[in-house]
Chains A and B, each alone.
Chain A
């Protein structure tokens, strides 16, 4: 979603003290996510606020989630946020073959069924394409991409008494 924030900044906020040459997005849901559609249609408007409350209790921001539906992205966000002339846009996507222990097992299957394409557990490859598409990372989840998986591993190692080796002098 950082990619959408960046597009919004370049196209609409246009801060005068920033000269943007290019934007590279990684698994950004430029055309929305079928999993967001699924959440809103299947879980329904009654339970979504309860889910939000739970997520927010754990410190997770949910404000923009409703704007990740394919309809909102294609009919509202993208028309209102055109690419800026003079800025080069690059993008990468990712796909994952989740193991049965993966937290993305369910969401991956939902997106695969609804969009019929490879995805990283939250964003499909076709939704991630924007500007010049530079390629698809394979076997990488959405959390891997933002380095969360490694952070969790480091946290686990620290709990077991292993200290992270950092080359700093």
Chain B
């Protein structure tokens, strides 16, 4: 009879890695948008 052995530690670390990778690639910091926001802030300051 075949026995399917599941290494839960391995499975858990794979899921963790996948979650970290998703977090890493999902981060959407937009430097250009931030610079434009600063330009907007300066305009409001009258500069």
Contact = CB atoms under 8 A, between A and B. Distances in A.
On whether the two chains bind one another, the answer is yes
B29 A101 contact: no
B43 to A, nearest CB: 11
Interface stretch (A5-13, A34-42, A122-130, A139-147): A139-147
Contacts of A140: 29
Where chain A touches its partner, the secondary structure class is mixed
Contacts, number: 39
Contact of B34 (A90, A100, A101, A137): A137
Interface residues of A, number: 20
B31 A147 contact: yes
A92 to B, nearest CB: 8
Interface string B9-40: 00000000000110110010101101000100
B15 to A, nearest CB: 14
Sort chain B's interface into a size bin.
Answer: 10 to 19
Contacts of A26: 34, 38
B47 A22 contact: yes
A22 B31 contact: no
Contact of A99 (B24, B42, B47): B24
Central interface residue in B27, B31, B38, B41, by most chain A CB within 10 Å = B31
